[in-house]
A = this chain, B = another copy of it.
Amino acid sequence: MSLVRIHNFSISLDGFGSGEPQSLETPFGHAGQRLHRWMMATKFWDAENGSAGLDNDFAERHSIGFGAEIMGSNKFGPPGWQDDPDWQGWWGPNPPFHTPVYVLTHRPRESFELEGGNVFHFLDASPAEALAVAREAAGELDVRIGGGASVVRDFLAAGLVDQMHVVQVPILLGRGARLWDGLEGLEETFTIEAVPSPSGVTHLSFTRKV
Residues of A within 8 A of B (CB): 13-15, 168, 170-175, 180-187, 192-196, 200, 202, 204
Contact = CB atoms under 8 A, between A and B. Distances in A.
A184 B192 contact: no
Q: By DSSP majority rule, is chain A's interface helix, strand, loop, or mixed?
A: loop
Copies of this chain assembled into the complex? 2
A176 to B, nearest CB: 10
Given A15-B15, A172-B183, A180-B172, A202 B200 contact: no
Contact of A170 (B182, B185, B192, B200): B192
A160 to B, nearest CB: 17
A200 B192 contact: yes
Interface centre among A14, A168, A175, A193 (most CB of B within 10 A): A14
A185 B183 CA distance: 25
26 contacts: A13-B180, A13-B187, A13-B192, A14-B180, A14-B181, A14-B183, A15-B180, A170-B187, A170-B194, A170-B204, A171-B185, A171-B187, A172-B184, A172-B186, A173-B184, A174-B180, A174-B181, A174-B182, A174-B183, A174-B184, A174-B185, A192-B200, A194-B194, A194-B202, A195-B196, A202-B202
